[in-house]
Structure 1
């Protein structure tokens, strides 16, 4: 495929429209036109914020770090000193409503534990801020809908942090499917497993995480099957196993599941907090196959095709890419391709997977 055409495809895919309309105020537009950079307040200063999101913000073209929200005073002081954040742009979770008076903050990036996404998103929306939220959007469909409704009522955009939708390697896989380079897809395989580590962390507590490996990393595999096929699954069947019922007493350790799509494509997926090296995505089609391995990392993703060609692009910062795209959507008054509704769809399917695990039966999503 000619390089120009490839670049055009990647660019057009990255700005695909798949969301409900939102309202952008004239004041936000005026300030954006002056600086072309929107202020982001990071809500939750854990490892992801410290090691990925904040450094990525320093690389963005349309964003800047404008504030923080934390429940730990020591972290607040450290971030203020490191990034030069003003004292009046530092908030606790109980004072987020005061952001309404802060014109430097346009977007709140919610990076707190899963079950806290809804209250923090709703607080940000009520303060008049757009919201970009880490995945999963929340731990239930009902809570996801509350977030969507709150942002819609406030006339603000809600985005879900699906960074792989901005990875050139994943965009190339989408192109290969859409253009049927190897014919129609037949079977998809996707899996992501990590060693979760510390047994005392919030990810292993049901009331904060909502689930285990599936909610945390399995969602990447689930998302990939949806944006590769361009379809919503109609049937899901799942099985769970635990090798350490003490450590994983409250959440899932390992789950495998299959989904059937309207076109007849079947996806086989797996996720685990203990299964070792699983990080792949593979599409088997009528006349060949292609895969990414690794597929879901922050960097280093690459793959190959059955015709001997590589799938390899220059590295980009995926966090910077997704934040810049969200900011551009606001600046240009256009929908994001990763809206809250997209996050809700994945949560709905994950709830069906958990239902299948509980009942031992396939669950219809039609």
Structure 2
């Protein structure tokens, strides 16, 4: 099995996309006579931290997207990135000069991978520059900011996509397909957890003005988003509880949050997220069967099983599949279900706002309209 997994991982997108083509997008990309994509999405990465680097490395294997530019506030990173990714001088920007990108026809889209509370400002700048925006999750720090971002992109006539990489990931998609096909019967319950023990106490994730929130915003959003796509419903109420074992380290942001989501059909999802210990699990049970994934939300390899046995799906680089899928959405107008657009991000942000409201009001039930 390890040999097969290694082989599939090496194949990367080629194996993964061919396996997912019937269900991932509404159609395949247009091709040239030589069998290559008719056009590549030319992307600039905004924010050259660890995840920006991960995306850049993954894009080396993309067939429909390519890294052509950077936006950074760290001048010392510029020569390294220029050399490593063959970035020309004309495609290098900082946070003050991004408006000049409007005059650069060689960049189609900007992937915003800056701290959460900066997403709103930076997507607004990208829209003003007339470029398509891909924004890492969580979309923003409030639902209001998320709506602002949608409005700005629509006014500018550009697309806004959110970095929900798991919407393209084979194990996740397999579980969704089984649920939609009724293989597990009527869904009865969802149980999702995601957390890790955070390290450096000085990092931006622990600063409210940059992170917007703590574990919930960072990794709890996976549990929330999964509850929505597993049920194919939108929650109508939420209750939540917060605990802190280290009030000094987590003085500005949440450490551990448990929350419950009520859905129109009567399904209740129980979810938890933390910065205090490592755990990761997705579980959904229906009248005819179940699905479980653990690991479920990390960068892989993911593992899972259902009432029919172990899941055996292609092991791919998530961000490679994501960027090729998003290129097809932007260039060819394709769609993916669950969605990865700004409205999908807004739905999550509305629930996150309600979770924080419930905690503030002593774990009271908050209704969602």
Q: What is the TM-score with the length of structure 2 in the denominator?
A: 0.89
Residue 7 of structure 2 is matched in structure 1 by none
Can you list the C-alpha shifts for 1:43-86, whole angstroms capped at 9, x where unaligned?
00001111x10011111111111100000110111111211211
Residue 305 of structure 2 is matched in structure 1 by 304
Can you list the C-alpha shifts for 1:28-57, whole angstroms capped at 9, x where unaligned?
xxxxx996112100000001111x100111
Offset at 1:120?
Answer: 1.0
Residues 1:37 and 2:37 aligned together: no
- Distance in 2, matches of 1:347 and 1:181, equals 30
CA change 1:180–1:218 in 2 (3 A) is: same
**Contact 1:10/1:172 (<8 A) preserved:** no
Residues 1:11 and 2:21 aligned together: yes
Offset at 1:8?
Answer: 9.5
Aligned counterpart in structure 2 of residue 98 of structure 1, from 97, 100, 104: 100
Task: Extract unaligned runs of 5+ from structure 1.
Answer: 1-6, 18-32
Offset at 1:178?
Answer: 1.2
- Distance in 2, matches of 1:87 and 1:200, equals 33
Offset at 1:125?
Answer: 1.1
Can you list the C-alpha shifts for 1:213-254, whole angstroms capped at 9, x where unaligned?
000000001000101111100111111100000000000000
Residue 176 of structure 2 is matched in structure 1 by 174
Q: Give 1:16-95 correspondences, 5 Å limit.
A: 36-50=39-53, 52-95=54-97
Residues 1:200 and 2:202 aligned together: yes
Residues 1:120 and 2:122 aligned together: yes
**Contact 2:191/2:270 (<8 A) preserved:** yes
Residues 1:344 and 2:346 aligned together: yes
Offset at 1:16?
Answer: 5.8
Aligned counterpart in structure 2 of residue 110 of structure 1, from 112, 117, 120: 112
Residue 254 of structure 1 is matched in structure 2 by 256
Residue 213 of structure 2 is matched in structure 1 by 211
**Contact 2:215/2:254 (<8 A) preserved:** yes
Can you list the C-alpha shifts for 1:180-235, whole angstroms capped at 9, x where unaligned?
21211101000100122111111111111110000000000100010111110011
- Larger CA deviation: 206-215 vs 320-329: 320-329
- Distance in 1, matches of 2:318 and 2:350, equals 25
The two structures, once aligned, show a CA RMSD in angstroms of 1.8
Offset at 1:326?
Answer: 1.3
Q: Give 1:149-160 correspondences, 5 Å limit.
A: 149-160=151-162
Task: Extract unaligned runs of 5+ from structure 2.
Answer: 1-16, 28-35
Offset at 1:301?
Answer: 0.6
**Contact 1:42/1:110 (<8 A) preserved:** yes
Aligned length: 342
Residue 30 of structure 2 is matched in structure 1 by none
Offset at 1:289?
Answer: 1.7
**Contact 2:119/2:140 (<8 A) preserved:** yes
**Contact 2:26/2:334 (<8 A) preserved:** no
Offset at 1:263?
Answer: 1.0
Offset at 1:127?
Answer: 1.0
Residue 330 of structure 1 is matched in structure 2 by 330
Offset at 1:312?
Answer: 2.2
CA change 1:55–1:39 in 2 (3 A) is: same
- Distance in 1, matches of 2:348 and 2:215, equals 14
- Distance in 2, matches of 1:177 and 1:9, equals 18
- Distance in 1, matches of 2:83 and 2:172, equals 37
CA change 1:243–1:206 in 2 (3 A) is: same
**Contact 2:25/2:334 (<8 A) preserved:** no
**Contact 1:254/1:275 (<8 A) preserved:** no
**Contact 2:257/2:274 (<8 A) preserved:** yes
CA change 1:9–1:87 in 2 (3 A) is: closer
Residues 1:365 and 2:368 aligned together: yes
Offset at 1:129?
Answer: 0.5
**Contact 2:37/2:63 (<8 A) preserved:** no
